[in-house]
Amino acid sequence: MWRFLVALLLLCASAQAQDYPIIGGGVLAPAATYSGPGNVVSGATAWYGLRAYNAAYAVAGSNAINVRRASDNSTENIAVLSTGALNISAANTFAGTDATASCTFATTTATCTGASSTPHVGSTITGSGVTEPCYVTAVGTFTGGSGTLTVSGNNGLSAPCGTIASATSITLQYGLYVTEAYDQSGSNACSSAPCNASQGTAADQPQLFPTCINLLPCLSGSGSRLLISSAFTAIATPQSLSAVYNMSSTAGSFSEVIASQSNAGVGSAIQKDSSTANSICVSNNGTSTCNTSVPDGSWHAVQGIVGTGSSGILSVDGSSSSGSVGTTSTQTTVVLFASTSSTHLMTGNIAEAGIWPSAFSSTVYGSGAGSLCHNQYSYWATSVSC
């Protein structure tokens, strides 16, 4: 009888342990599953980003970008982690340290002393109090470790790296430039291969800012850099586009975040349509619907539906409007930061962008749970909750 009671107690304890695993007195929380844009809405023709497209891509730990480092022009693939995040630590290690120094910052000038070596143009800057992103656009004469740097964040801010009157210790890391952004969609829409977007000319390669949007990385274009995909079979219409971007106030007319079109033609795009400040548009075949209350110099999640004639959709940070957009166009490539290989170049930063061969549902392009905006806001912490 006694043995029976002991056995019964052991069985109960075993059953309880299986239902409620207890370690250290606490209940184990289920492992968080990464959810990316491809989990919100699958089937993108092409998608590029500095995080994983979906949970499967994260689990696989596949490559997101290939970068060239400025120090010796060697290149390396940078993958995503199982968390969905870009393995920015690997990128930072690959880049290497350019110099250290102690600097003050005022407008676009950093005045430095104690530099370990003369810094180089393109190096990114980190340090206590430094507003990110921050990188070197020009190097003055350095004598005995003292000199000045011209700095920017490609976001149009008058003091892009912040104003720091009391010298702060900074680290300069060699610039990383993106030779290729890998199409994570899995659609293999370019001759049965991924529509990777690349740039073989060094001067035209977007820069990777390791710390850019809320401590996460971004791609940066300074008005002369772009990535362009290999050619794909024409995308069906209607189409949907999505991007997380930060447009500089210095960006000119027709600055493209993402465009899908022929080399010389006008296709589908998320773009600043005119020189109007604080505006963003969704466009197809030369007809646009715009929102003119979208602050430049800050991050936004934008979705657009095109190829539907008068019922196009532009959704900015979860706030949607409808308007006329074009219905047809010939499209053969996807371009980031431009509309063709040489026009409509954007000054600003991009975290992710993609195109789908179908119209998003209102749940997807709107706000709240189940929307792309909510997924993007939750990950990147864009300017407005949605």
Partner 1 sequence: MLIRALLIWLALAGAAAAQTVNTANSYLIFSTQAAALARSQTQCQNLKCDGVQTIYWWNVIGPLNAGTAGSTAVTANSYAVEIQPSGPFGATTTTSKVATPTGLSTSEQSSLVTGTALGPLAPGGTVTSGGTATP
- Residue number, 224 or 322, with CB nearest to partner 1: 224
Options 224, 298, 358, 363; binder of partner 1; rule CB under 8 A: 224
Residue 248: partners with Cβ closer than 8 Å, 6 or more residues away: 154, 155, 156, 296, 297, 347, 348
Q: How far is CA 253 from CA 96, 270, 272, 274, 351, in A?
A: 36, 13, 6, 4, 21
Can you spell out the DSSP letters for 112-140? Answer: EES-SS---TT-EEEETT--SS-EEEEE-
Cβ of residue 325: shortest distance to partner 1, in angstroms? 23
Question: Could you tell me how many residues make up the chain?
Answer: 386
Residue 340 interacts with partner 1 (CB under 8 A)? yes
- Residue number, 14 or 74, with CB nearest to partner 1: 74
Options 10, 28, 106, 138; binder of partner 1; rule CB under 8 A: 138
Q: Note whether 115 and 146 are within 8 A (CB).
A: yes
Binding residue count for partner 1, defined by CB under 8 A: 39
- Residue number, 19 or 72, with CB nearest to partner 1: 72
- Residue number, 36 or 348, with CB nearest to partner 1: 348
Residue 120 interacts with partner 1 (CB under 8 A)? yes
Residue 230 interacts with partner 1 (CB under 8 A)? yes
Options 18, 73, 141, 158; binder of partner 1; rule CB under 8 A: 73
Helix or strand or coil: residue 348?
A: strand
Q: Note whether 327 and 239 are within 8 A (CB).
A: no
Residue 205 interacts with partner 1 (CB under 8 A)? yes
Nearest CA among 276, 314, 282 for reference residue 296: 276
Cβ of residue 194: shortest distance to partner 1, in angstroms? 9
What is the chain's Cα-based Rg? 24
Residue 192 interacts with partner 1 (CB under 8 A)? no
Stretch that binds partner 1, among 42-50, 193-201, 295-303, 316-324 (CB under 8 A): 193-201
Chain residues in the site for partner 1 (CB under 8 A): 66, 68, 70-75, 120-122, 137-138, 175, 179-180, 190-191, 193, 196, 198, 200-205, 224, 228-231, 263-264, 340-343, 345
